[in-house]
């Protein structure tokens, strides 16, 4: 239990934060993940991954807590996690889901409308299918299936010119989409982010722990973590082997790891716990 009517929580990105940027290993973080569980500190995973991908990772990390999927498009709460049902959620299988963005179908329709104009210049996950996703990403078939099971966003491989890509992205934006360029793919999705999803879930916890002061740590390594890092009580920026730390507007209560993930995750979260008088 947390002392002094204080409830600590950790919201963490996965790739490059809790998982090694290259190998996706997490072993170095496991002892501290177990320690958080014993201390009653919920670890909320917040990623651009799909629900299916997150479920697989939660299994290997023995995580039983709510989680944030597809870059904040939805929050999934295990159906019996709270004694009552969180408002504005729908029961989907074993999870109560709070949706914060339009469904993927909307973006598939928008993409279909552009198929003629940009013929042969783009390939989406939906069109590629599992075998195509394997080819595009190098994932195993099982991983590709989980990556393709998207609810709210659609990765698109652009094969035309950079100028064409700008026009293509602009057309999608005109239809209401948010289009972001990642390393390999354009992601077409709604107006959502991890920060707003975290704020919604924090509010749910506050309602269920009245009288306790929640102090949350957000952990991330990239620009898509910025909204979450910016609004969290404390931010932990994990050093990346491929890019700089994300730039934040705030400069109070910001920790930086020296090491890369996953060792940097353990290093930074331990330091945050020490600030709260908890030595692992
Ligand atoms: Mg990351």
Residue 58 sits in which domain range? 6-100+193-275
Does one domain contain both 38 and 96? Answer: yes
Q: Is residue 215 part of a domain?
A: yes
**CATH (domain of 11):** 3.40.50.1000
Please list the pLDDT of the chain residue by residue as tens digits (280 residues): 445 689 999 999 999 999 998 898 999 999 999 999 999 999 999 999 999 999 999 999 999 999 999 999 999 999 999 998 888 999 999 999 999 999 999 999 999 999 999 999 999 999 999 999 999 999 999 999 999 999 999 999 999 999 999 999 999 999 999 999 877 899 999 999 999 999 999 999 999 999 999 999 999 999 999 999 999 999 999 999 999 999 999 999 999 999 999 999 999 999 999 999 999 8
Does one domain contain both 132 and 148? Answer: yes
The packing angle between helices 104-113 and 125-137, to 10°, is: 100
Q: Is residue 142 part of a domain?
A: yes
Tell which residue, 7, 10, 28, 36, has the closest CA to residue 220: 10
Q: What's the CA-to-centroid distance between 211 and ligand 1, angstroms?
A: 33
Does one domain contain both 129 and 241? Answer: no
Does one domain contain both 177 and 205? Answer: no
| Torsional class of 34: left (φ above 0), alpha (ψ -120 to 50), beta (otherwise) | alpha
Q: What's the CA-to-centroid distance between 24 and ligand 1, angstroms?
A: 11
Q: Is residue 15 part of a domain?
A: yes
Q: Tokens representing 272? A: 């945050």
Q: What's the CA-to-centroid distance between 91 and ligand 1, angstroms?
A: 29
The domain boundary residue, chosen from 155, 189, 223: 189
Does one domain contain both 112 and 176? Answer: yes
Tally of structural domains, the chain: 2
Q: What's the CA-to-centroid distance between 14 and ligand 1, angstroms?
A: 6
> Among residues 13, 20, 193, 221, which one is catalytic?
13
Distance CA 270, CA 280 (A): 7
Is 13 one of the annotated active-site residues of the chain? yes
């Amino acid at each position: 239990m947390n002392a002094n009517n204080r409830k600590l929580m950790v919201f963490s990105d996965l790739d490059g934060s809790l998982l090694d940027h290259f190998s996706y290993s997490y072993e170095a973080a496991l002892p501290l993940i177990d320690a958080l569980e014993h201390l009653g500190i919920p670890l909320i995973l917040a990623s651009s991954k799909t629900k299916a991908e997150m479920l697989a990772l939660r299994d290997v990390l023995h995580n039983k807590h709510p989680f944030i999927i597809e870059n904040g498009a939805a929050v999934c709460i295990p159906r019996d996690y709270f004694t009552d049902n969180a408002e504005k959620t729908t029961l989907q299988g074993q999870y109560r889901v709070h949706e914060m963005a339009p469904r993927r179908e909307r973006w598939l329709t928008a993409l279909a409308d552009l198929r003629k104009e940009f013929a042969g210049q783009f390939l989406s996950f939906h069109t590629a299918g599992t075998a195509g996703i394997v080819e595009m990403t190098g994932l195993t078939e099982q991983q590709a299936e989980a990556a393709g099971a998207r609810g709210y966003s659609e990765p698109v491989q652009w094969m035309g010119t950079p100028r064409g890509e700008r026009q293509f992205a602009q057309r999608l934006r005109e239809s209401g989409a948010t289009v972001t360029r990642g390393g390999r793919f354009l992601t077409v999705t709604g107006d959502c982010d991890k920060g707003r999803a975290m704020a919604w879930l924090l509010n749910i916890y506050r309602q269920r722990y009245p009288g306790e002061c929640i102090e949350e740590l957000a952990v991330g390594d990239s620009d898509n973590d910025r909204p979450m890092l910016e609004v969290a009580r404390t931010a932990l920026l994990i050093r990346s082997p491929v890019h700089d730390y994300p730039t934040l507007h705030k400069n109070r209560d910001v920790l930086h790891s020296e090491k890369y993930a996953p060792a940097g995750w353990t290093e930074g979260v331990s330091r945050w716990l020490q600030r709260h008088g908890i030595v692992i």
